[in-house]
C-alpha cells in the first residue's frame, strides 16, 4: 500500500473515531450541565420564598459547603477549572466521579445563599468529570482520556455561556500559556457544539448582547487610541484581581481558626459588608453585567465606579473561606463594570468599553486571548472583533506571567527582556530579568549618575 494511501486511511479512521467519541461526550455533557443550570436557576428563583434576605444564610451555607466538600470530595474545592487543569497535567485527566454531584450541590448551595462565585467552573468540572467517567468505563488509554477531559472543559464552558467556538478554544488554550494542542481542536469543537446544541434543545436560553456599536468611519484613529489605553487599563484590573484573590486567600489561610469557623466568619463579614456597600455583589451578578452592557445609559446609571473592586473582594472572601463555584462569571462582572467606568471617563461608547472589559479581563486573568477574542464575536458581533483583539492582547501581555489558574504551564515569555523557566506551572515559575538587560540598565544608571556628578561639579566651579 502506498504511503499516501496509508496516511489518508489512518487520518480518516482517526477523524471518524473522534467525530463519534466527541459527539457522544458532548451530548452527555450538554445534558449534565443543563441539569446543573436548571437546578441553579430553580434555587435562585426560590430565594424569594424566604421570609428574610436570602444572603443571611451565607455563613451557614459556607460552613455546610466546606463540610460536604471536605468529607465527600476534596477535589471539588475551589473554582473548578483549576482542579481540572491540575488533573490534566498531573493525573492524565483522571477525575473522581464523586466530584460531579458534590460540585453540583456545593455550587448550588453557595450561589443560593449569595456566595460571589460563577457557574462556568462547575460546568467545566462536571463536563471533565463526565468525560473522565466515560473514559474509565470504556477503558480508554491515558492519552485518549486526557483528550476527552480537555473536550469536557470546552464543552462545559460552551454549554454554560452559549459560546461553542470560544468554549472549545478555551478548553485547549487554558492548559498551557503559549501553546495550543491542535490534535484536540477537532474533538473539542465537536464536543462544544454538541453540548451547546443539546443544552439549547433541553431548554437552556442564552443571552447575547446588542451593544449597538456601529462604526461611523472606516478608520477611527481616536477610538483606536482609546482602545489601546483601555487594554492597558484592563491589564491593570486583571493584575489587581489576581493579586487580591491570592493575597486574601493566603491571609485567610493564616488565620489560626478552624476551617468551619473561618467559613462561618467569612459569611458574616460579607453580610456585614452588604449593609455598607449594598447587596448587588452577592451571587452571580448577571443583572449588573447586563445593565453594564446595555446601550441605554439609564440601566447602568446606578452602577458605582468602584463596583469591580468590591466584587473582587466579595469573590476573594467567598472562595478563600471555602465557597464552591467558578471564577469566570465574577471576572465578567469585574471586566464589564470596570469597562463601564472607563467608558464614562472617555465620555462615549460606554457599552462598547464595558464589552471590551468583559472579554479583556477574561484574557488577562486566564491567559486565553484567542478564546476571549472569539467570545467577543459570539456575544457582541463582528464589528467589535478587531477592537476586541487589540484590547485583549494588550491586557493579556500586561498581566504578566500570572493567572487565576496557578496550574497553567508556561510555554512562552511575554517579553524578551525576561528570563523564565519554561515548562513549569505558574505557581512554581521563577521570573527574572535577562543578564544582558540588567547590564543595560546598570549602564544607563551609571551614565545618569556620571551626568549628575558632572553637573554638580560644574555648578560648584561656577560658584
347: left (phi over 0), alpha (psi -120 to 50) or beta: left
Which pLDDT value is given to residue 436? 57
- Which one, of 136, 123, 292, lies nearest residue 204 by Cα? 123
Residues 164, 150 contacting (CB under 8 angstroms): no
Q: Which residues pair with 431 in a beta bridge?
A: 420
Per DSSP, which regions of 52-134 are E strands? none
3-201 and 223-410 share one CATH topology? Answer: yes
Taking the domains of the chain in order of start, what are their residue ranges?
A: 3-201, 223-410, 416-463
Query: Taking CA 14 as the corner, what is the angle to CA 9 and CA 18, rounded to the nearest 5 degrees?
Result: 150
Q: Rounded to whole angstroms, how far apart are CA atoms 23 and 21?
A: 6
- CATH number for region 223-410: 1.10.3080.10
pLDDT at 461: 58
Cα–Cα distance measured from residue 320 to residue 69, given in angstroms and rounded to the nearest whole number: 14
Residue 321: C-alpha distances to residues 66, 124, 141, 249 (Å): 8, 22, 37, 8
CA distance 321 to 326: 14
pLDDT of residue 208: 87
- The closest of 136, 170, 126 to 33, measured between CA atoms, is 126
Distance CA 418, CA 421 (A): 10
d(CA 341, CA 131): 41
- What does the block give as the cell for 172? 485547549
How do beta strands 176-177 and 409-410 pair? parallel
The answer to whether the beta carbons of residues 29 and 133 sit under 8 Å apart is: no
Q: How many CB atoms lie within 10 A of CB 273?
A: 16
**Rounded Cα gap, residues 433 and 117, in angstroms:** 36
Residue 389 has a pLDDT of: 95
Residues in Cβ contact with 212 at an 8 Å cutoff, skipping those fewer than 6 apart: 295, 351
Q: Please, which residues bridge with residue 425 across strands?
A: 409
**Residue 91 C-beta-side C-alpha neighbours within 13 Å:** 15
> What is the distance between the alpha carbons of residues 152 and 208, in angstroms, rounded to a whole number?
23
Three-state DSSP at 432 gives strand
Q: How many CA atoms within 13 Å lie on the side-chain side of 208?
A: 12
CA distances, 277 to each of 2, 12, 272, 282, 329 (Å):
72, 59, 9, 11, 20
Task: Write the CATH number of the domain with boundaries 3-201.
Answer: 1.10.3080.10
**How crowded is residue 197: how many other Cβ atoms within 10 Å of its Cβ?**
16
The answer for residues whose C-beta is within 8 angstroms of residue 411's C-beta and 6 or more apart is 176, 177, 178, 179, 422, 423
Size (the chain), residues: 463
Per-position b or e across 83-120, b if 16+ CB within 10 A of its CB: bbbbbbbebbbebbeebbebbbbbbbbbbbbbbbbbbb
Full pLDDT tens readout for the chain, 463 residues: 577 787 888 888 888 888 999 999 999 999 999 999 999 999 999 999 999 999 999 999 999 999 999 888 887 777 778 888 888 888 888 888 888 889 889 999 999 999 999 988 888 888 888 999 888 888 888 888 999 999 999 999 999 999 999 999 998 998 888 888 888 899 999 999 999 999 999 999 998 888 888 766 667 888 999 999 999 999 999 999 999 999 999 999 999 889 999 999 999 999 999 999 999 999 999 999 999 999 888 888 889 999 999 999 999 999 999 998 889 999 999 999 999 999 999 988 899 999 999 999 999 999 999 999 999 999 998 889 899 999 999 999 999 888 999 888 888 888 777 878 777 788 777 776 555 555 555 566 666 667 676 666 666 655 5
What's this model's pTM, rounded to 2 decimal places?
Answer: 0.91
**CA distances in angstroms from 79 to 103, 125, 324, 442, listed in the order given:** 10, 9, 6, 43
Handedness of CA 296, 298, 303, 305 (dihedral sign): positive
Closest CA to 238 of 355, 404, 75: 404
Amino acid at each position: 500500500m502506498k504511503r499516501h494511501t496509508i496516511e489518508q486511511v489512518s487520518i480518516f479512521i482517526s477523524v471518524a473515531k473522534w467525530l463519534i467519541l466527541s459527539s457522544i461526550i458532548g451530548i452527555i455533557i450538554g445534558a449534565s450541565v443543563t441539569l446543573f443550570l436548571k437546578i441553579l436557576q430553580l434555587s435562585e428563583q426560590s430565594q424569594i420564598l424566604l421570609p428574610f434576605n436570602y444572603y443571611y444564610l451565607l455563613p451557614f451555607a459556607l460552613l455546610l459547603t466546606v463540610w460536604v466538600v471536605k468529607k465527600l470530595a476534596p477535589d471539588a474545592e475551589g473554582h473548578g477549572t483549576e482542579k481540572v487543569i491540575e488533573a490534566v497535567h498531573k493525573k492524565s485527566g483522571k477525575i473522581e466521579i464523586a466530584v460531579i454531584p458534590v460540585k453540583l450541590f456545593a455550587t448550588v448551595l453557595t450561589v443560593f445563599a449569595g456566595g460571589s462565585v460563577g457557574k462556568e467552573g462547575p460546568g467545566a468540572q462536571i463536563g471533565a468529570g463526565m468525560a473522565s467517567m466515560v473514559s474509565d468505563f470504556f477503558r480508554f488509554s491515558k492519552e485518549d482520556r486526557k483528550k476527552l477531559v480537555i473536550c469536557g472543559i470546552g464543552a462545559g464552558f460552551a454549554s454554560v455561556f452559549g459560546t461553542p467556538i470560544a468554549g472549545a478554544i478555551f478548553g485547549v488554550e487554558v492548559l498551557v500559556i503559549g501553546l495550543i494542542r491542535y490534535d484536540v481542536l477537532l474533538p473539542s469543537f465537536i464536543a462544544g457544539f454538541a453540548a451547546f446544541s443539546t443544552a439549547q434543545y433541553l431548554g437552556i436560553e442564552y443571552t447575547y448582547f446588542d451593544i449597538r456599536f456601529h462604526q461611523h468611519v472606516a478608520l477611527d484613529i481616536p477610538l483606536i487610541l482609546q482602545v489601546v489605553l483601555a487594554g492597558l487599563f484592563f491589564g491593570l484590573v486583571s493584575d489587581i484581581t489576581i493579586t487580591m484573590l491570592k493575597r486574601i486567600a493566603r491571609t485567610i489561610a493564616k488565620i489560626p481558626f478552624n476551617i468551619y469557623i473561618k467559613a462561618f466568619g467569612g459569611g458574616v463579614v460579607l453580610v456585614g459588608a452588604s449593609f455598607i456597600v449594598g447587596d448587588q455583589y452577592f451571587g452571580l451578578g448577571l443583572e449588573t453585567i447586563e445593565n453594564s452592557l446595555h446601550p441605554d445609559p439609564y440601566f447602568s446609571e446606578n452602577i458605582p465606579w468602584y463596583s469591580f473592586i468590591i466584587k473582587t473582594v466579595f469573590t476573594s472572601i467567598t472562595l478563600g473561606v471555602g465557597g464552591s463555584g467558578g471564577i469566570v462569571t465574577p471576572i465578567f462582572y469585574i471586566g464589564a463594570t470596570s469597562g463601564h467606568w472607563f467608558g464614562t471617563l472617555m465620555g462615549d461608547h460606554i457599552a462598547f468599553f464595558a464589552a471590551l472589559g468583559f472579554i479583556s479581563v477574561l484574557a488577562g486573568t486566564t491567559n486565553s486571548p484567542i478564546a476571549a477574542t472569539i467570545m467577543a464575536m459570539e456575544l457582541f458581533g463582528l464589528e467589535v472583533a478587531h477592537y476586541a483583539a487589540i484590547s485583549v492582547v494588550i491586557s493579556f501581555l500586561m498581566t504578566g506571567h500570572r493567572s487565576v489558574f496557578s496550574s497553567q504551564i508556561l510555554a512562552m515569555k511575554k517579553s524578551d527582556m525576561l528570563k523564565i523557566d519554561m515548562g513549569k506551572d505558574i505557581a512554581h515559575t521563577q521570573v527574572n530579568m535577562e543578564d544582558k538587560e540588567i547590564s543595560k540598565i546598570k549602564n544607563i544608571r551609571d551614565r545618569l549618575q556620571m551626568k549628575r556628578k558632572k553637573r554638580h561639579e560644574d555648578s560648584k566651579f561656577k560658584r
